[in-house]
Amino acid sequence: MDGIASQPGSPAAASSPTTNRLDSKAEAATDSNDIEMDFDDETPLTFKPKEEQIPALPSSPPKKQTELSSGIDMDFNQLLAIFYDCIFPFREFYRWLHYGGVQKNYFLHRELSFTLSNDAYLRFKSFKDGDEMKAEILKLCPIKIDIGAVYNSEPKKRATVKDGAFKPIERELVFDIDMTDYDPIRSCCSGADICRKCWDFMTVSIKIIDRALQDDFGFKHRLWVYSGRRGVHCWVCDDRARKLTAESRRAIVNYLEVVKGGEETTRKVNLSSKGLHPSLRKANEILNPVFTQRIMNNQDILTNPEKWKNVIALIPDDDTRKRLSESWSKSNVTPAVKWGNILAEIKALSKKKPSAATAVMEIIFQHSYPRLDSNVSVGLNHLLKSPFCVHPKTGRVCIPIDPKKADSFDPFQAPKVSDLVEQIADFDLSNPESARTVPHYQKTSMKAHVEYFRKFVEELEEEAKEVFRARRAEEDKKLQF
């Protein structure tokens, strides 16, 4: 089966909410996604909407919601339908997954999956072009879109392929970093909850992983995306990254992973005392100041007795651990003083036991280094939430994050779909003369995020041009003989 059949009350069974809420409807030239690229044309692609092609919002848009309920209600579905029709960057989204059309049927063989508001889960959806994809999304109004692999045939026609012959062949190298994996070391929040204190873990994760992907592996096209609630995703889109085997992906993950072991494992970081890898030295340059100035205090690592006992348990000497524990239990010293005690004790210990020299760094890494979900990165057929989804529990859009500005990214400032709809209405009321000529996303706080994504896609297309030209030059060279 290609998916789950429509059920009464589902978006697929009901009339499209789009037709009910818009005063007029026309296909915009800016939304025409079935593009044919001329790789000899150096003129950058531009998309200028025509006046009559900007759909209007309903005269009475939904009232702003300060918080969305935990369930999916009609208010959210109506807002989501407007978001898809007016703001979701279909054009850029298709161009991204089309990758310049260098490989035949690349988009046609890509799997997308939809989760609907009635919990129906539709896997192995595939589309011939961007227009067909957009029409299906507008019709179904999925509360979640996941992106899968590029297969050796159309995913929606997999039933026509021999058993065992339908296989994934390519996929971006992806990374999923979720805040719940930090529950053993964070004290400010737990589960799906986050705050600005624990967001430090995501900030350092972006900076460390992005630096390694760029400097150590030479990947150029890295798209970081806020998950909409409690984590971040990274899409490495270079041509050679998409062609990596599962074994190669595992090797990259193993290279990046430092924190290993479950709850029963006390010592989750083991660094070599004979010489630290340059990549880990660079990671330490990022982690050390953040740990000592923010994480150590914000997460009560040396304030809570239960937590500081876990810290000194990482010191490889019984006498040292006992001495610190007795001293701290008898006096009320500050975290800064305790950290100074640890540094002094390990420095003295390392003179007698050189293997203890890495203990300080192991403590820092265990309490702040990125924690990766390796299964997401390694499996070619693993699905990952699409950029620009709207998280149904928070109402926030999964927007791109500039890794160069990771320090200033605030997840609580990510656009909420209810605010975006109101921003469009406010703009149209204040600017009636341009209400139908300005694209809706430009009327909202999504403008900068869509433009950042567009620039990312344009850089990918430049690489596609280079691949195409190299291929044609090679073919011309063969013809000369």
pLDDT higher than 60, residue 53: no
Q: Which of 85, 178, 200, 210 is catalytic?
A: 178
- Convert 304-341 into a string of H (helix), E (strand) and C (coil): CHHHHHHHHCCCCCHHHHHHHHHHHHHCCCCHHHHHHH
Nearest to 14 by CA among 106, 111, 81: 81
Q: Which of 31, 154, 172, 176 is catalytic?
A: 176
CA distance 314 to 266: 7
Q: Which of 31, 111, 154, 422 is catalytic?
A: 111
Question: How confident is the model at residue 452, as a pLDDT?
Answer: 98
178 as an active site residue: the answer is yes
pLDDT higher than 90, residue 140: yes
Question: How confident is the model at residue 422, as a pLDDT?
Answer: 93
Does any domain span residue 164?
Answer: yes
Does any domain span residue 12?
Answer: no
39 and 66 housed in the same domain: yes
36 and 178 housed in the same domain: yes
Please compute the mean of the pLDDT values over residues 92-99 and round it to a whole number.
97
pLDDT higher than 80, residue 280: yes
Does any domain span residue 178?
Answer: yes
- Convert 371-388 into a string of H (helix), E (strand) and C (coil): CCCHHHHHCCCCCEECCC
Q: Is 455 left (phi over 0), alpha (psi -120 to 50) or beta?
A: alpha
Please compute the mean of the pLDDT values over residues 211-217 and round it to a whole number.
98
Contact 323, 344 (CB under 8 A): no
- Give the CATH number for residue 379: 3.90.920.10
Question: How confident is the model at residue 416, as a pLDDT?
Answer: 96
What token pair was written down for 208? 């460390």
- Structural domain ending residue among the three candidates 366, 392, 421: 366
Domain that residue 57 falls in:
17-251+373-471
- Structural domain ending residue among the three candidates 315, 345, 366: 366
Question: How confident is the model at residue 35, as a pLDDT?
Answer: 35
What token pair was written down for 472? 């044609």
Contact 131, 109 (CB under 8 A): no
Q: How far is CA 192 from the centre of its chain?
A: 16
Query: Which of 29-38, 170-179, 458-467 is modeled with the greatest confidence?
Result: 170-179
**Which is more confidently placed, 104 or 476?**
104
Question: How confident is the model at residue 441, as a pLDDT?
Answer: 97
Does any domain span residue 8?
Answer: no
236 and 274 housed in the same domain: no
300 and 409 housed in the same domain: no
308 and 428 housed in the same domain: no
444 and 314 housed in the same domain: no
Residue 475's pLDDT band, with cuts at 50, 70 and 90, is confident
The contacts of residue 465 (CB under 8 Å, 6+ apart) are 39, 100
104 and 222 housed in the same domain: yes
Question: How confident is the model at residue 213, as a pLDDT?
Answer: 98
Residue 56's pLDDT band, with cuts at 50, 70 and 90, is low
433 as an active site residue: the answer is no
Does any domain span residue 210?
Answer: yes
Q: pTM for the complete prediction?
A: 0.84
Task: Please report, as a single letter, which amino acid is at residue 364.
Answer: I
Question: How confident is the model at residue 481, as a pLDDT?
Answer: 58
- Structural domain ending residue among the three candidates 366, 381, 401: 366
Q: How many domains does the chain have?
A: 2
pLDDT higher than 60, residue 29: no
339 and 307 housed in the same domain: yes
391 and 336 housed in the same domain: no
31 and 118 housed in the same domain: yes
pLDDT higher than 70, residue 271: yes
Question: How confident is the model at residue 1, as a pLDDT?
Answer: 42
pLDDT higher than 90, residue 469: no
Does any domain span residue 9?
Answer: no
Question: How confident is the model at residue 57, as a pLDDT?
Answer: 56
Residue 357's pLDDT band, with cuts at 50, 70 and 90, is very high
Q: What is the mean pLDDT of the chain?
A: 86
Question: How confident is the model at residue 70, as a pLDDT?
Answer: 30
308 and 202 housed in the same domain: no
Please compute the mean of the pLDDT values over residues 105-120 and round it to a whole number.
97
| 297-337 per-position pLDDT tens digit | 999 999 988 889 999 999 999 999 999 999 999 888 999 99
Does any domain span residue 406?
Answer: yes
377 and 361 housed in the same domain: no
Residue 263's pLDDT band, with cuts at 50, 70 and 90, is confident
CA distance 434 to 428: 8
Question: How confident is the model at residue 349, as a pLDDT?
Answer: 96
Please compute the mean of the pLDDT values over residues 343-362 and round it to a whole number.
95
Which of 3-7, 99-103, 118-122, 414-418 is least confident? 3-7
**Which is more confidently placed, 424 or 469?**
424
Please compute the mean of the pLDDT values over residues 330-350 and round it to a whole number.
94
Does any domain span residue 256?
Answer: no
